[in-house]
Amino acid sequence: MEIRTLCAVAMPLSQQFDSTPAGAESLPEPGAVRAQLRRLLAHPLFTNSKRYPVLLAYVVEQSLLGNAGELKERTIGVEAFGREPAYDVNLDPIVRMTAAEVRKRLSQYYYAAEHAGQLIIELPLGSYVPTFREPESRHAEAAVPHADPAFPAAETPALVDRTQNQPVWRRRMALAAALLAALLIGFGTGQIRLPRQPSNLERFWEPITSTSSRVTYCLGEPTEPVDRNRAPDGGLSPVGSLNVSDVITLARSIEPIVPRNGAYRVVAASATQFTQLREGPDVMIGAFDNLWALRITQDLPYGFRVDDGLRKIVDRSNPRGTFWTLRWLEYDRKLATDYAVVARIHDNTTGQPVILLAGILGEGTEAAGELVSTPAYLDALLARAPRNWDKLNLEAVIETQVIDGHPGPPKVVALRTW
């Protein structure tokens, strides 16, 4: 599969991708549809694939933009999967096969009881135009009690009088028992809940999700031959204006990334202006394909450097010159190990919070995105950090083993806070 431009997600790279595009206002609650799309893309049914989230995000966004009439097999193949305009859809049925799998996974998602009550996104059979609908109400109207004429109201005062004749301590015990029973029933039915402590995932992304300013997501662009020409067995080549791995990282982590106010944009590194980075928090995706990421990390403990053509992550605070670099099974063709930097910092140059997800190559970037969007992996990283890590700058180096072009689980090999 090839993806040539950001059109695989939303619109041409030459434009900024805003969360509230023109034309979406006429659709029923587009913000709710996009919020549900983010939930779907963050679920393991979609995050473990490279094709399914691309197709689903593309058809939903194009529908919200008013382009549903253009959602044909060939158009999706060209714009979402990078096929040539004249490609044979019968010899290459990637769109049909992917759509069939997306339909199945949508059914599996909504079959789970924990997703009841969520807005429903469907991809009808025989069509690539998604439908959106609210779930059917599951709440029955509560029955209203009525007075029973068989029990005259005149008897009630007598009952009250007998209760008041009981000793004070006995009445208090009865009241306490009644309150305890009510509390237990409330907890059991979920109507009474203790304040929930935020998870590590929520605390990690809090500088982004709690902002009232627009967030800028800056994605890398392939510039080196090793990025443009490498085609690992079973993997993807980064072609066109964006690195495919950077787009996948954006899609994988979009659920925790997107701020509550929904104000964000996705732009390529070459189109990102310094004034935009100063408007609000920034998320940097990619390293050597992202000049802004290289600038922001140039003074951090862990940063990127090229020595005699060898790309490295270096430990600047270690006088022994510790560094991490790629390991190959077949140089420039078959990668064995990649490394990445994950950072959560307040950048002094822009004056804004920055989250960085940057691998030496695309596989490392994907592993970084998986770490910050998967609670188990993020918990393992933060277990090595101080208790007040969310008040500090944090930077880590992670390692991922690569099999047939696909990154394995991220492993933390170094961590710094300050």
Q: Over the stretch 250-289, which tens digit does the pLDDT of each residue have?
A: 776 665 555 455 677 888 888 889 999 999 999 999 999 8
Average pLDDT value for residue range 401-414:
92
Asked whether residue 339 carries a pLDDT value surpassing 90, the answer given is yes
Domain end (from 136, 157, 177): 136
**Distance of alpha carbon 78 from alpha carbon 138, whole angstroms:** 42
For 22-54, what is each residue's pLDDT tens digit? 333 345 678 899 999 999 999 999 988 889 999
Q: How far is CA 135 from the centre of its chain?
A: 23
> Do 203 and 294 sit in the same domain of this protein?
yes
The pLDDT of residue 327 is above 80: yes
Q: What separation in angstroms does the CA of 232 have from each of 94, 235, 330, 351?
A: 20, 5, 10, 39
Same domain (yes/no): 311, 227: yes
- What would the two tokens of residue 364 be? 């490392």
- Domain co-membership, 258 together with 387: yes
DSSP conformation class of 335: E
Structural domain ending residue among the three candidates 136, 164, 187: 136
The mean per-residue pLDDT over the stretch 386-413 comes to 94
Closest listed residue to residue 362, CA positions, set 248, 234, 268, 257: 248
Please name which of 306, 100, 334, 355 lies closest in space to residue 208, comparing C-alpha atoms. 355
- Of 120, 136, 152, the one marking the end of a domain is 136
DSSP letter for 320, please: T
Asked if 344 and 414 sit in the same domain, the reply is yes
Tell me, rounded to whole angstroms, the distance of Cα 293 from its chain centroid: 20
Q: Quick count: other Cβ atoms within 10 Å of Cβ 252?
A: 25
pTM over 0.75: no
For residues 202 and 128, state if they share a domain: no
Distance CA 306, CA 323 (A): 11
Quick one: 110 and 214 in the same domain? no
Instruction: Mark whether 292 and 406 lie in a shared domain.
Output: yes
Backbone angles phi, psi at 293, to 5 degrees: -65, -40
**What Å distances lie between residue 208 and 97, 138, 215, 293, 379, CA to CA?**
36, 34, 7, 17, 19
283 forms bridges with which residues in the sheet? 217, 355
- Domain assignment present for residue 52? The answer is yes
Q: Is residue 165 part of a domain?
A: no
- The Cα diameter of the chain in Å comes to 99
Domain check: are 229 and 358 in the same one? yes
Chain centre to alpha carbon of residue 337: 24
Q: What is the mean pLDDT of residues 88-111?
A: 91
Same domain, 242 and 385: yes
> Would residue 168 count as lying in a domain?
no
Residues 131 and 202 in one domain: no
Residue 53 lies in a domain: yes
DSSP string, 351-364: TEEEEEEEESSHHH
Note whether residue 3 is domain-resident.
no
Is 216 part of any domain? yes
The answer to whether residue 188 sits within a structural domain is: no
Beta bridge partners of 267: 218
Higher pLDDT, 149 or 242: 242
Give the residue from 417, 303, 279, 278 showing the smallest Cα distance to 356: 303
Same domain, residue pair 220 and 353 = yes
Position 182 confidence tier, pLDDT thresholds 50, 70, 90: low
- C-alpha gyration radius of the chain: 27
The answer on 209 and 101 residing in a single domain is no
Residue 189 lies in a domain: no
Question: Do the Cβ atoms of 385 and 415 come closer than 8 Å?
Answer: yes
> Which range is least confidently modeled, 10-14, 240-244, 393-397?
10-14
Region 52-58: what's the mean pLDDT?
A: 94
Whole domain around residue 114: which residue ranges?
19-136
Looking up tokens 């339909």 gives 103
Q: At what angle do helices 30-41 and 52-64 cross, to 10 degrees?
A: 180
For the chain, what is the domain count? 2
> Counting Cβ atoms within 10 Å, is residue 197 exposed (0-12), middle (13-18) or buried (19+)?
exposed
Which pLDDT value is given to residue 338?
A: 96
Q: For residue 166, name the pLDDT band (cuts at 50, 70, 90).
A: low
